[in-house]
Structure 1
Amino acid sequence: MITRREAIKNTAAGIGAIGLGLAACNTADGQAANSENEKEKSTMGMAKYQHSVCKWCYGDIPMEEFCERIQDIGIKSVEIIGPKDWEIAAKYGMTCAMGTDSFIRLPDCLNDPKNHAELLAGYTTLIDKAVEMGIPNLICFSGNRNGLDDETGLENCAVGLEPIVKIAEQKGVNIVMELLNSKVNHPDYQCDKTPWGVKLVDKVGSPNFKLLYDIYHMQIMEGDVIATIKKYKDYIAHYHTGGVPGRNEIDETQELYYPAIMKAIAEMGYEGFVGQEFVPTWDDPIAALRHGVETCTV
């Protein structure tokens, strides 16, 4: 019987022979690998979607200064800002991919009928301003449950949205409801699951009403991000990023692998905006933003 020492010796010899064979073709293989790497690099940044950033994450930086500092990052939009800041963004060659205003409040919003009249008046004016400035999307929220069951909340939202969305259709603006987590950041928020939002989109039945899929929030509530966005891609008008847990940088400190998520979004042919919505912890927050954009460039 062969001894353990002999077996190890024979294995080592075999590996050495294999190594000599591999060395003979190493140069050719290396050249092929380099060629593939170069090919891969040449296709980077070919996704049709564009990059945006949520200003609230950089609250201490004045809007003018912020726009100046992000000029060379490849960002085309500053979002979750109101009309007074739309003009500043435009001054620096950027739009606002997702507009808002002070009357759009959390947790009181569309699922409570007492808010409908105020919201209709506010959105009527805001939609006109959006048309004037070329703003494509305006955000909306379900509001907190406050004891409402999901079916009643959905019905109330649909009733409140109907006249707003009708105006939006006429003016060519989208009303977009954000999916938020009710587990960590927004306790009791009603639109906290993708299927609920999808049911609302179907009930409203307008091409001008869709969902804002916040990857951070939905990872907390549902997980299974790539399969979900593939299944419901036609219901989604906009995406937000953020590291989980903590809503910080989308780097190796968090649990999601954003290059794979962004690749899936790109492969679906999405042509809208992806908004960076993480709260930076780096000493240089703009460097953190640059890294986030690079991570999401596929």
Structure 2
Amino acid sequence: MSSNYNRREVLKSLTLGSGALSLGAGMFSSFSTMSMFENSPSENKANINHSVCRWCFNDIPLDEFSSACAKMGIKAIDLLKPSEWETLKKHGLECSMGTEEFAIIEHGFNDPSNHKQLQKNYKGFIDKASKAGVKNIICFSGNRRGMDDNTGIENCAKGLKPLVDYAAERNVTMVMELLNSKVNHPDYQCDHTAWGAALSDKMGKPENFKLLYDIYHMQIMEGDVIATIRKYKDYINHFHTAGVPGRHEINESQELFYPAIMRAIVET
């Protein structure tokens, strides 16, 4: 593969179009181009489990998409609903991060008025994930709407803790995504890694509550990506990737050097 033959062209050759991929070490994470990894040290090979975010390729039928992903060596697909999980099994793929219609970025666990409905919805979701063998399901803090950090942590902990305990009995992990509030998700509260870690600590740092560390989002919000991953590695079980600026391919046109970031993830 030439250095100019990137992920976008690979996907086009398989009639997939374009979008963002996922990586993870003992977990999964999200990733965008192959060319930067061609000269990575051989000891890193197979230490990253690649998955791909479904929403980047919604115009492709899931069965066709899953088949092509399996041929490429991708292990899983991110952000699929329960009605879609069975399709993956035909192609030997996993759902690396489950989602549902009620999992809404702006309306999450920091608002106590959401707790009753979210707890009801998530219990059913956890049961479905447990039965299907889906280990991770996504959740969100919600927007601040004038709320201070400590109150947001207190509210999220109260709403999440009963669900985290319920999920633990069913071998399911609830994963809160870190998103930037500067460019893409104005007012979102879980917009710094330290905030997500403080929420986990508030609940007693349960093994089945983790963070989805989106490298694109956190570069925008706080930078210092490699040091942050090393510091908070025990709080993270999933990574998303994209280029900064512009959420483009993770190639030489943007400011993050992904080979070094991937090596740091492997080291954790």
TM-score by length of 2: 0.83
RMSD: 1.4
CA–CA distance in 2 between the matches of 1:42 and 1:240?
A: 22
Q: Which amino acid is the alignment partner of residue 89 of structure 1? A: L
Distance 1:203 1:98 in 2: 24
Distance 2:121 2:190 in 1: 21
SS of residue matched to 1:212: strand
The residue type equivalent to 2:264 in the other structure is A
Distance 1:173 1:94 in 2: 18
Q: Which residue of 1 aligns with 2:219?
A: 219
Quote the Cα distance in structure 2 between the aligned partners of 1:44 and 1:114: 46
Matched with 2:36 is: none
For 1:184, the equivalent position in structure 2 comes to 183
Residues 41/232 of structure 1: CA separation in 2 closer, same or farther (3 Å cut) = closer
Q: Which entry has the higher C-alpha Rg, 1 or 2?
A: 1
Aligned to 1:254: 254
- Counterpart residue type for residue 120 of structure 1: Q
Equivalent residue, structure 1, for 2:162: 163
Q: CA deviation at 1:69?
A: 1.8
TM-aligned CA deviation for residue 252 of structure 1:
1.3
Residue aligned with 1:128, SS: helix
Change (3 A) 1:106 1:41: closer
Match of 1:267 in 2: 267
Residue deviations 1:79-131 (CA, integer Å, cap 9, x gap): 11100111111111101111110111120111001111111111111111111
Name the SS of the counterpart of 1:183 in structure 2: coil
Greater share of residues in helix: 1
The normalised TM-score by structure 1 is: 0.75
Aligned to 1:275: none
Q: Tell me how far 1:71 sits from its aligned partner.
A: 2.0
Q: For 1:203-242, what aligned pairs fall within 5 Å after superposition?
A: 203-205=202-204, 206-242=206-242
Q: Which runs of 5+ in 2 are unaligned?
A: 1-39
User: Which one-letter code corresponds to 2:130 in the other structure?
Assistant: V
Paired residue secondary structure (2:71): coil
Q: Deviation string for 1:151-176 (max 9, x for gaps)?
A: 11111000000111010111111001
The 5-angstrom pairing of residues 62-211 of structure 1 reads 62-205=61-204, 206-211=206-211
Q: What CA distance in whole angstroms lies between the structure 2 residues aligned with 1:180 and 1:44? A: 27
Distance in structure 2 (CA, Å) of the matches to 1:192 and 1:160? 19
Give the equivalent residue in structure 2 for 1:30. Answer: none
Where 2:95 maps in the other structure, the secondary structure is coil
- How many residues of Structure 1 are paired with residues of Structure 2 in the alignment? 229
Structure 1: stretches of 5+ with no match in the other structure: 1-39, 269-298
Tell me which amino acid in the other structure corresponds to 2:137. L
Residues 93 and 144 of structure 1: is their aligned pair in 2 closer, same or farther, counting only changes over 3 Å? same
